[in-house]
Amino acid sequence: MLLSTKREEQRGAAESSLLHLIARFEATGSAVEVNFRQLMSSDGSTNKSAHAIHPYPAKLLVNIPQFFLAALPTVSGSALLDPFCGSGTVLYEGMLAGLRPIGSDSNPLARLITTAKLTPLDRAIARRHLDEVMAAYPSASPNIPDVVNRDYWFSERISDCLGRLKTAIQRNVPAPYRPVFDVSFSATARRVSYADPRLSVPVKINPDRSARYGAKGDEVIRRLVRLGEVDVGALFWSIASQNIQRCPELGQLFAVDRPEIFSDARSLGVAEASVDLAITSPPYVGAQKYVRASSLSLGWLGLTPDCKLRPIERQSIGREHLAADEALTSSGTGIPEADALLEEIVERNPLRARIAQRYLLEMRDALSELSRTMRHDGNLVLVVGPNLVAGLEFPTPFFLQRIAEGLGFSTKLHLLDSIASRGLMTKRNRTAGLIQQESVFLLKRVRTGA
Ligand SMILES: C[S@@+](CC[C@H](N)C(=O)[O-])C[C@H]1O[C@@H](n2cnc3c(N)ncnc32)[C@H](O)[C@@H]1O
């Protein structure tokens, strides 16, 4: 009762904040600065919630979906889509709000994390399976998959322990309970690798360079020493026990049978005009390495066929490796400002120009598919930041807004939120820049069949 009163209060406050922000945007015609952490104060329990079951780069600030889910009118059981769902931040919050989550992500690790978050468990049964896994683990014969450069990232002893855990999970955990066990196994593998825990893309800890680790140097080196004696089984048990507690409990609040998660935002198995609300943060141009950041997990989980990351990367929008036939097209992107900027970029760095153009063309395909699935009057919340391409400012928010407007969306609100850090936004070769202010657009689907 108390909880529902608090929710009603939050909803009322969010609705009036949104109306106020729209009025300011309409009056000035320019983006309104906000701080989502203040606009929608979270209850601080995120670490205990399903969002903490596994790390994922560039997770969306949870306050953003929480704000829009409270502020926008929604009908219980209606469809909520996140075509770039990553670790499922939006979909999990939507499910808590009583909506039917539909997602897609090209990274199989993202799909696994999202599935685990959205799959309600009977916690008592899950704990029983955990006991069975722990009982089988010591004598299980190791199943060690082809992990890229396994010996570089893991000691022989640790590989053997992980291999035995893998067998024990495969033999003892039935399908509906597998996602939470696989996610916990993947989080364990990452924790017992030689990868520096502070970075999302694996970089091996090097004791000879401890001075470079700054204030945290000693801690990083101590971690390396601890790896020599770490009890992999006990660590897995602790991660899995916490995750079982974090995942939704069967029969409480949630009505999801099987989450619908597709693998490409450009081709969703969703009926036309069936989605009421979409909230998403698309990938960035040339600034992300989602697949590389997931490589150790993908390998141990057996999600990389033949130990190769390229086939997964090829499906990723914003990727940095292009095939030879993915050349710069002379027909352009359809956005005159983008085509003019690409001409400047090509002078500085032809490869960066190809990557950026390909990104815009593929984002057009994804937004076109999104537009197809959305019903007339449905709302789209798009979260996206600008970055640098070959040292030039690349206004991705403006370009994606233009593309969306050409596909039947109209802009109702443009907000700017400052972000402290997003896992993958590193200054690299002076070609990709740090993102400081993110645009949050509220767009309405106004025409059908655009
Ligand atoms: C900014 S992240 C989303 C993060 C997410 N909101 C979260 O909180 O974890 C963008 C995601 O887009 C995914 N992606 C890239 N290309 C894609 C495609 N063609 N279809 C679907 N997802 C794609 C990436 O794998 C990445 O997980």
Which of 104, 35, 29, 39 lies closest to 66 in space, CA to CA?
39
Identify which has the larger pLDDT, 6 or 87.
87
And the tokens for 158? 């640790």
Mutate to test the pocket of ligand 1, among 51, 54, 64, 84 (most ligand atoms within 8 A of CB): 84
User: Hey, which of 284, 288, 316 would you mutate to test ligand 1's pocket, going by the most ligand atoms within 8 Å of its Cβ?
Assistant: 316
327 inside domain: yes
**Structural tokens at position 20:** 């106020």
Residue 82 domain boundaries:
2-120+251-445
Average pLDDT over residues 369-383: 97
d(CA 192, CA 235): 9
Average pLDDT over residues 163-186: 97
Band (pLDDT 50/70/90 cuts) for residue 256 is low
Residue 9 lies in a domain: yes
How many CA atoms does the CB half-sphere of 47 hold within 13 Å?
A: 1
Q: Packing angle between helix 350-373 and helix 396-406, nearest 10 degrees?
A: 40
Q: Grade residue 446 by pLDDT with cuts at 50, 70 and 90.
A: very high
Q: Where are the beta strands (DSSP E) in 220-373?
A: 260-262, 275-280
Largest CA distance in the chain: 70
Residue 143 lies in a domain: no
The residue whose CA has the least distance to atom 26 of ligand 1 is 86
pLDDT tens by residue, 421-431 = 544 444 444 44
Mean pLDDT, rounded, of the chain? 89
pLDDT in tens, 112-171: 999 999 999 999 999 999 999 999 999 999 999 988 889 899 999 999 999 999 999 999
3-state helix, strand, coil in the chain (%, to 5): 50, 15, 35
Cβ atoms of 397 and 384 within 8 Å: the answer is: yes
pLDDT digits (tens, 9 = 90+) for 190-212: 999 998 887 888 888 877 776 67
Cβ neighbors of 321 (< 8 A, separation 6 or more) are: 310, 313
Residue 432 within a domain: yes
Hey, CA dihedral for 75, 36, 58, 254, is it positive or negative? Answer: negative
pLDDT at 129: 98
Q: Which atom of ligand 1 is nearest to the CA of 60?
A: 8
Cα separation values, 312 from 216, 316, 317, Å: 34, 7, 11
User: Would you place residue 328 in the very low, low, confident or very high pLDDT band (cuts 50, 70, 90)?
Assistant: confident
Q: Name every protein residue with a CB atom under 6 angstroms from any ligand 1 atom.
A: 56, 58-60, 83-84, 86-87, 89-90, 104-107, 110, 264-266, 281-283, 290, 315-317
* Residue 186 placed within a domain: no
pLDDT tens, position by position, 208-233: 776 677 777 777 788 888 888 999 99
CATH number of the domain encompassing residue 267 = 3.40.50.150
Residue located nearest, by CA, to atom 3 of ligand 1 = 86
Residue 366 is predicted with a pLDDT of 98
pLDDT band for position 45 (cuts 50, 70, 90): low
- Among 292, 336, 384, which Cα is nearest to 31's? 384
- 216 Cα–ligand 1 center, Å: 30
Q: What is the DSSP letter of 223?
A: H
Predicted confidence (pLDDT) at residue 392 exceeds the cutoff of 60: yes
Measured CA to CA, the distance from residue 187 to residue 439 in angstroms comes to 31
Position 334 in a domain: yes
Conformational region of residue 286, where left means phi above 0, alpha means psi within -120 to 50, and beta covers everything else: left
Confidence of residue 47 (pLDDT cuts 50, 70, 90): low
* Chain segment 265-320, per-residue pLDDT in tens: 999 999 999 999 999 999 998 755 788 889 999 999 999 877 788 888 889 999 88
Residue 45 has φ and ψ, to the nearest 5°, of -95, 15
How far is ligand 1, taken at its centre, from the CA of residue 202, in Å? Answer: 19
Residues 6+ apart with CB under 8 A from 372: 272, 273
* Residues 370-383, mean pLDDT to the nearest whole number: 97
104 Cα nearest atom in ligand 1: 21
How confident is the model at residue 430, as a pLDDT? 44
At residue 20, the pLDDT reads 97
> Can you name the residues that pair with 278 across neighbouring β-strands?
81, 380
Q: Which atom of ligand 1 is nearest to the CA of 56?
A: 9
pLDDT digits (tens, 9 = 90+) for 295-307: 999 999 999 877 7
Confidence category of residue 370, pLDDT binned at 50, 70, 90: very high
Pocket test for ligand 1, best of 42, 82, 105 (most atoms within 8 A of CB): 105
- For residue 330, name the pLDDT band (cuts at 50, 70, 90): confident
pLDDT of 415 higher than 50: yes
Interval between CA 399 and ligand 1 midpoint (Å): 18
Pick the more confident residue, 372 or 195: 372
Count how many domains the chain has: 1
Rounded (10°) CA dihedral 80, 22, 283, 63? -70
pLDDT at residue number 428: 45
Amino acid at 359: Y
pLDDT in tens, 68-111: 999 999 999 999 999 999 999 999 999 999 999 999 999 999 99
Are the C-beta atoms of residues 401 and 342 closer than 8 Å to each other? no
Q: What is the pLDDT of residue 10?
A: 87
| Nearest CA among 42, 3, 34, 31 for reference residue 17 | 34
**Mean pLDDT across 387-410:** 95
Residues with Cβ within 8 Å of 333's Cβ and at least 6 positions away in sequence, in order, are: 339, 342, 357, 360, 361, 364, 399
pLDDT of residue 234: 98
Q: Label residue 46 by pLDDT band (50, 70, 90).
A: low
Q: Which token pair is 283?
A: 């990938």
Nearest CA to ligand 1 atom 6: 60
- Decide if 239 is inside a domain: no
Distances (CA, A) of 10 to 14, 71, 351: 6, 9, 48
Report yes or no on 267 lying in a domain.
yes
Separation between Cα atoms, residue 424 and residue 199, nearest integer Å: 9
Q: Cα(60)–Cα(283) distance, rounded to whole angstroms?
A: 11
Please report the atom of ligand 1 found closest to the CA of residue 113: 9
How far apart are the CA of 209 and the centre of ligand 1, in A? 33
What span, in angstroms and rounded, lies between the C-alpha atoms of 254 and 92? 10
